[in-house]
Structure 1
Amino acid sequence: MPTMPAARTVPRLLEDWAALDPAHEALVGGGERLNYGELLARVRETAAALHALGIGKGDRVAILMGNRVEWLVLAWAAQYIGAIAVGMNTWATAREFAYALQHSGVTLLAAAPTFLRQDFRAMLESIGPLAERAPELRHVVWVGEGDEAHVGGNVTQMSLSTLLRHGAHVAPATIDRLGADVSPDDAALLVYSSGSTSLPKGILLRQGALIENGWHIGQRQHVDENDRLWLAVSLFWSLGSANAAFNLLTHRGAIVLQESFNAADAIALIDSERCTVFYGTPNMVSAIAAQMPPGQTRLESLRTGVTIGSPDQIKRLAALGPQKICNVYGLTETYGNCAVTDADEPLDVRATTMGKPLPGFTVRVVDLDRGYPLPVGQVGELRIKGRMFAGYFNDEARTASSYDSDGFFRSGDLGMIDQHGQLIYRGRVTEMVKTGGINVAPAEVEETLTQHPAVESAFVVALPDTVNDEVLGAIVIARDGQEISEKSLEAFCRQSLAAYKVPRVFRILRESELPLTTTGKVKKAELKALFAQTGMVSR
């Protein structure tokens, strides 16, 4: 049985693994391979350069690029000297980028000049004078550019190779001392929520908890040092940088990076690198399934990993390769996950529940109106205590108000605990529909709809009604090549749902018609307008 690493800081963890087995492969990406000895050397070299520029404990280092080796090296180098890595959204608009840059108060921004259709150099220039929009920014490092540097106002812009030369004269003993001064309680990572209806929150995560939670997540997946993670999930998400990366790092596994998701490239990379761990979302799974080469039905090397989705979506992924795939629940505030199914549990359990709370977490379900704990099987708000985030950056009031009087975090999520202690997610509290005085969790109805053989995905919202105050409206995306009618959907729902849970209105759309955030999440607040646009009302 593997034991949790003794290290509770990034510098100590990297040092321990490099000492134990320096030749063990750690990181693959962009044609580059680093073993644990080389990874430690690269991180220390970058940490020395950051220190030479005056960056120290508590300073923020922003990273804006795809899933490159440099992303993780820069993040771990910042954390090695007690600074805070800030994951910047590569899909952000100029307004969102400017907000995160200013709000986080970064000292250094490391960015690729371009990524996919984004021109980050032009975006940086478009947001206005940096002295006003990002007054604490002193350095911009362009990753993947030639060897040059120039100064514009108070900001020095340079290439990565120029940055590294700054650290050439920093004594190794200095980096040793800085790494030794890092504490498990030090903030290590600042992640911004997607902010589908408002400006994103900056969520601070601690060094020690990143390691502990990453370890427990991997234990539920039965990960060990022989595992190889395929990672195309964006590193600026906590799922990538706080969950997946620390899962493999704490188990001394290898991380295989795909700079940006492309289904055909993902298949080739997973096969050629013999990846065993899958991290991905249902839309990624659908794209991979559609791109499988003729005669190939499975990705044979895959074994375990995490995903989310309907029971049918999870079972389809298991059939594609990772038969031990795990379902999960959590928020960035809980370091990605606070509940994970065990890889050895039956697939039906892993497809229909999110597992038991991880060690170190307590999850309770409370009544929405009065806040008292609810018994097994009843839906209420999920509240969480344990290994929680350090706080919302520069927002003590918001941090304090996010906890109840018993010290439980108000997740804003609906869910229940079943008779076996397994958590079942039922959507957001704000999505709860009250029809005829009875609460209905949209997620339960969505789960039922996605069990229809012709349905790819479904989204259920509340619609105003003169008799019942609210009724349910369902937007349904049909699978490719499938035809579906409102009557057949209604009949299907009536087979397994109480009458008050059956949607009164259905709308069948193409996936391209859904309103999305910059990170690809459906904007549920805007779905109601899709009914109004066609004059649909409840009947």
Structure 2
Amino acid sequence: MGDLIAERRQALETRWGAWTSTTLSGRFDMVAERFGDRPFVITDEATQTYAEVAAQSQRIAGGLADLGVRRGDRVAILIDNRAEFVPVKIAVARAGAVAVPLNFQYKAEELQAALAHSEAKVLVTIGHSMATDFLDALDAIAPGWETAGGGATLPTLEYVVVVGGGRDGALSLTDVAARGTDITPPETDPDSICDIVFTSGTSGHPLAAMLTHDMVLRSAYGSAYHRGFADGWRICFALPMYHVFGYVEGLLAAMFVGGAVVPRQVFNPRTLLEAVAREHVNEVLFVPTMTVGVVEEAAQRAYDLSSLESVFSAAAPAPVWLWERVQRELAPRTVYTGYGQTEVSAATALTMPGDALEVVSETVGACKLGGAAATEGYDGRLAQYRTVDPFTGEPLPDGAEGELSVRGPIVTRAYHADPERTAGMIEDGWLRTGDLGSVGADGYLRLTGRARELYKCGGELVAPKEVEDVINRFPGVGQAYVAGVPDERMGEVGAAWVVPDGDAVLDPEVLRRHCRTHLAAFKIPRMITIVAAADLPTTATGKVQKYRLAQSAVTS
């Protein structure tokens, strides 16, 4: 195993040589020139080669330029894991614009908040997802959007482009591509912003991490190097490409070896395993909830998984028994877990090939190797971690438990239009992660909890305040408190404690339906408890102690 990984890493380094900073579209064109006839995106409906994606992205970029998109303008992308996502993503970079990939589970008010905060000039959207009819949502947000854009509600939004059409009078993606002519790409600095990616809820104060071209490309190259991709490596995932896990660890990482991605629009263990067998997939990307479903399916039916070399499952802890089932049912050559977040361009830490299952279960790996993409001062890696006091931010001694803080060439430098959050979370290049843990003498990170209230449900970050605000708007609600509690399948799920207003009578199921109307599915509390204000645990000054509420949910 060690010799094989070393050979593959050397082949990658030989192919690309010393690191050269480029834009996303510039690097893609370099790959397409070498591997034009190879497949890059494989879906159930179509297979797109590198050359085809390049040509499509050039036409779409020309069309965006014809609409008035200029360097630095924001283009929001609301597309699920269908083939169109990729050429649109490359086209935005080619036009010198900034991509704002959006969660396709958003409801209308979440979409409005994201578009307003990002100050998007163009929205490229599908008609609907399983969660939301986006054309109806746009009708509610900005009536007449087909010809008037965002109107007074979203004054920066000039155009909405619909993938596949579906609304009379509205621009379709085909229309935009038809308007495109060969354009000379604007001079774009590789250190300029490539993506604005939302990390949390968007109805209150959204966190929108700004990632440069060089950040996402270095991170992707490091992933291909660290995990030892072979030439033509194929990766299958049902993770959304608006999320850095699917985007960087899947799409961009595969690009560096002329590989392909096999994105799934919906997570279904059976059809995913069928795709792995049919397309001779080498690696799958999961969060633990997906891993459980896949190993259960593989235990029930026979699939040809002989091509599968690697299983990478991250975003939440996974017990040893689950990794044992992965090895037994899927039989990969190696397994990985990792650690990262949107602000750090996906994974900054990964376990090593061949690590014992106990290591993969009890740690989240050591800082990701960078190969040629590493910068001076990081010992060949792409990040450096330390711990700080969660309250004062002061650095702690080596090995001490505290809040994990990270810096490196792939770590964001700021949040879009949010100087307060930037100042509070980033200091001298060090980003405070919000996670509690320690850095061992071996360099491996061990997580012990969360320093702040944000929690991850199925790999998606949830801001309790956003959920509380939605619940508090329901008639008869006096107070609402939300916290994350451990869950074996989802990592964490939301629990809500709701105090009625006066004599109001509240029904948890009715409250859950109210949340379902306004929030993406992963934000909806799994448990809702109606409580009296007197029963809430508080400090001496009257502040509600959410950690005690969460403890009560666990013990009950």
Is 1:398 paired with 2:407?
no
| Equivalent residue number for residue 318 of structure 2 | 310
Match for 2:276 among 249, 252, 270? 270
Match for 1:520 among 519, 522, 529? 522
User: 1:322-361 alignment to 2 at 5 Å?
Assistant: 322-358=332-368, 359-361=381-383
Letter in 2 for 1:225: D
| Equivalent residue number for residue 164 of structure 1 | 177
Q: Deviations over 1:447-487 (max 9, x none)?
A: xxxxxxxxxxxxxxxxxxxxxxxxxx9766599xxxxxxxx
| Equivalent residue number for residue 495 of structure 1 | none
Task: Check 1:364–1:532 CA distance in 2 against 1; reply closer, same or farther (3 A cut).
Answer: closer
| TM-score for the superposition, normalised by structure 2 | 0.74
Q: CA deviation at 1:199?
A: 4.0
State the alpha-carbon separation in 2 of the partners of residues 195 and 324 from structure 1. 35
| Equivalent residue number for residue 239 of structure 2 | 233
State the alpha-carbon separation in 2 of the partners of residues 352 and 522 from structure 1. 29
| Equivalent residue number for residue 134 of structure 1 | 154
Task: Check 1:304–1:27 CA distance in 2 against 1; reply closer, same or farther (3 A cut).
Answer: same
Letter in 2 for 1:430: R
Q: CA deviation at 1:272?
A: 0.8
Q: CA deviation at 1:47?
A: 0.9
| Equivalent residue number for residue 42 of structure 2 | 28
| Equivalent residue number for residue 384 of structure 1 | 406
State whether residues 78 and 123 of structure 2, in contact with CA within 8 Å, keep that contact through their aligned partners in structure 1: yes
| Equivalent residue number for residue 425 of structure 1 | 447
- The structure, 1 or 2, with the larger RCO (C-alpha pairs under 8 Å, 6+ apart) is 2
Is 1:203 paired with 2:209?
yes
Q: Deviations over 1:131-161 (max 9, x none)?
A: 1221111111111236x862xxxxxx21121
State the alpha-carbon separation in 1 of the partners of residues 289 and 85 from structure 2. 24
Q: CA deviation at 1:77?
A: 0.4
State whether residues 220 and 341 of structure 1, in contact with CA within 8 Å, keep that contact through their aligned partners in structure 2: no
Q: Secondary structure at the match of 2:84?
A: helix
User: 1:474-513 alignment to 2 at 5 Å?
Assistant: none
Task: Check 1:243–1:534 CA distance in 2 against 1; reply closer, same or farther (3 A cut).
Answer: closer
Task: Check 1:408–1:16 CA distance in 2 against 1; reply closer, same or farther (3 A cut).
Answer: same
State the alpha-carbon separation in 1 of the partners of residues 489 and 88 from structure 2. 42
Q: Secondary structure at the match of 1:267?
A: helix
Match for 2:80 among 58, 66, 80? 66
Task: Check 1:407–1:389 CA distance in 2 against 1; reply closer, same or farther (3 A cut).
Answer: closer
State whether residues 110 and 203 of structure 2, in contact with CA within 8 Å, keep that contact through their aligned partners in structure 1: no
State whether residues 184 and 208 of structure 1, in contact with CA within 8 Å, keep that contact through their aligned partners in structure 2: yes
Is 1:44 paired with 2:58?
yes
Q: CA deviation at 1:535?
A: 8.8
State whether residues 288 and 489 of structure 2, in contact with CA within 8 Å, keep that contact through their aligned partners in structure 1: no
Q: Secondary structure at the match of 1:416?
A: strand
Is 1:110 paired with 2:124?
yes
State the alpha-carbon separation in 2 of the partners of residues 537 and 274 from structure 1. 42
Task: Check 1:125–1:284 CA distance in 2 against 1; reply closer, same or farther (3 A cut).
Answer: same
State the alpha-carbon separation in 2 of the partners of residues 14 and 335 from structure 1. 18
State whether residues 197 and 525 of structure 1, in contact with CA within 8 Å, keep that contact through their aligned partners in structure 2: no
State the alpha-carbon separation in 1 of the partners of residues 434 and 141 from structure 2. 33
State whether residues 243 and 335 of structure 1, in contact with CA within 8 Å, keep that contact through their aligned partners in structure 2: no
Is 1:193 paired with 2:199?
yes
Q: Deviations over 1:203-248 (max 9, x none)?
A: 1110011100111122221113321010210112121223322211
Q: CA deviation at 1:58?
A: 0.9
| TM-score for the superposition, normalised by structure 1 | 0.76
State whether residues 191 and 212 of structure 2, in contact with CA within 8 Å, keep that contact through their aligned partners in structure 1: yes
State whether residues 215 and 251 of structure 1, in contact with CA within 8 Å, keep that contact through their aligned partners in structure 2: no
Unpaired segments of 5 or more residues in structure 1? 151-156, 433-441, 444-472, 480-511
Task: Check 1:400–1:136 CA distance in 2 against 1; reply closer, same or farther (3 A cut).
Answer: same
